[in-house]
Amino acid sequence: MLEEKIFVLELADKDYPSFSEDRLTQIFSASFNNSKEFRKIFLNLIGVGTRQDLRSETQKQYGDSKLDVLILKENKPYIVIENKVDSTVYASQLRKYNSIKAVKNAKKVLIVKHLPDRKIPKQWKVIHWVDLYMELSKLLENRDLPEIDKFICSNFASYLKEMGMYIPPKISKKDFYEMCEFIKRIRKDGQFELSINKVAIESLLTFVLYIQEITKIVFKEKEYNDIKKKIARGRCPTRQYIRINYLDDEANNKHFNIFIGSQFINLKNFNKDIWWIGAGVFIDLKGGSCIKAFAGKDYGWSVEYSKEDNFEVREAIYFEEFKEFVIKSWRKYLYLTR
């Protein structure tokens, strides 16, 4: 009971709006200081060995710069954390933090809700709040957790979920096909006024989130970084999009009319047989819908895929299963081995 009280008192130390970057920063710091399991998960996530002699402080002022979180080791700066939810990430701000003499040698971590749309200084490791949510979710499946850790970690995970920084674990089969039928109606009937289908739209957003998260995970793998170094001057663009065939093309279309998913392109300088790889859902106006991972040698809808695998939708699309399917398929297409 005393541990929970200390945690709550630290949460209430400053008066911030309920759902704000500053409030999230305060909750993170209090969780880090009062839960060994939370601390272990976060440190593993950023590649730092688990330590117990660390202490987190917030809103540390250095001249005209204010650091969101400063983690101290033996009262010396050890990790600097910048927290971004909906505000813009500015490289100039991060470079300014790099120039602070007191934290020059500290590890720098940027935690974001969305992938930054600009280049980040190399000293900063970027992770997403959803990464932390996923790790906490796995932890909370363990029923033998100490009560204080269960209390703190479940509260933090719930807070991230309320802020929209989480991944739903599954899309039910029923909801997935309702999404496909809804998109078919928009495409087939050409209707611009259509009753909102909340289930279909939420399923679509979740599926796109799955694709984005898988793409982000793949970019972290060493082999893909090696590929990027060998092709197109280090550029290996990825695209997440919804693609719809024109009506005039439908008669000659060998594939499906609508595609929702992701592609890695510009791979032909790495592998002469594979120019791009991708994954997503294909929706056919004249038939059914399916989820595939695929690879090809040409662009356009009329080309046959040189390699493809179907993802079986049983009772639901589980994120973890779908992630493993896509990553395994892509590795196979590019002849990568673990």
Q: What is the pLDDT of residue 307?
A: 85
Q: What three-state secondary structure class fits 243?
A: strand
In this structure, of 168-172, 242-246, 272-276, 291-295, the range with the lowest mean pLDDT score is 242-246
Structure tokens given for 174: 């029923």
The 10s digit of each residue's pLDDT in 6-53 is 555 455 555 554 557 888 999 999 999 999 999 999 999 999 887 778
Alpha-carbon distances, residue 309 vs 11, 285, 321, 334 (angstroms): 49, 21, 14, 14
User: Please, what is the average pLDDT of the chain?
Assistant: 80
CA proximity to 304, closest of 313, 312, 294, 314: 294
Structure letter (DSSP) for residue 304 = P
How many Å apart are CA 256 and CA 242, to the nearest integer?
12
Tell which wins on pLDDT, 7 or 76: 76
The 10s digit of each residue's pLDDT in 254-298 is 455 788 888 776 666 666 677 788 899 988 877 788 999 988 876
Residue 93 scores a pLDDT above 50: yes
Q: What is the pLDDT of residue 15?
A: 56
214 alpha-carbon distance from chain centroid: 7
Phi, psi of 309 (to 5 degrees): -140, 140
89 alpha-carbon distance from chain centroid: 16
Residue 56 scores a pLDDT above 90: yes
Rounded to an integer, the average pLDDT of 320-332 is: 90
Residues 6+ apart with CB under 8 A from 72: 54, 55, 56, 57, 78
With contact defined as beta carbons under 8 Å apart, do 52 and 195 qualify? no
pLDDT band at 164 (very low <50, low <70, confident <90, very high): confident
134 alpha-carbon distance from chain centroid: 10
Residue 220 scores a pLDDT above 90: no
CA proximity to 68, closest of 40, 45, 87: 87
The two beta strands, 124-128 and 170-172, are unpaired
Q: Return the number of other C-beta atoms located less than 10 Å from residue 188's C-beta.
A: 12
Q: What is the pLDDT of residue 173?
A: 94
Residue 100 scores a pLDDT above 70: yes
Q: What is the pLDDT of residue 270?
A: 65
CA proximity to 279, closest of 333, 212, 227, 326: 326
The 10s digit of each residue's pLDDT in 105-154 is 999 999 988 767 668 898 999 888 988 998 998 898 877 889 999 999 99
H or E element that contains 248: none
One-letter amino acid identity for 149?
Answer: D
Q: What is the pLDDT of residue 248?
A: 45
The percentage of residues in the chain with a pLDDT greater than 70, rounded to a whole number, is: 75
Q: What is the pLDDT of residue 254?
A: 47
CA dihedral 169, 173, 179, 180 (to 10 degrees): 130
How many Å apart are CA 263 and CA 276, to the nearest integer?
7
The 10s digit of each residue's pLDDT in 151-163 is 999 999 999 988 8
pTM score of the predicted model: 0.67
How many Å apart are CA 269 and CA 28, to the nearest integer?
44
Neighbour-count burial for 289-304, b at 16+ CB within 10 Å, e otherwise:
bebbbbbbbeeebeee
Q: What is the pLDDT of residue 103?
A: 94
Q: What is the pLDDT of residue 302?
A: 47
How many Å apart are CA 157 and CA 88, to the nearest integer?
23
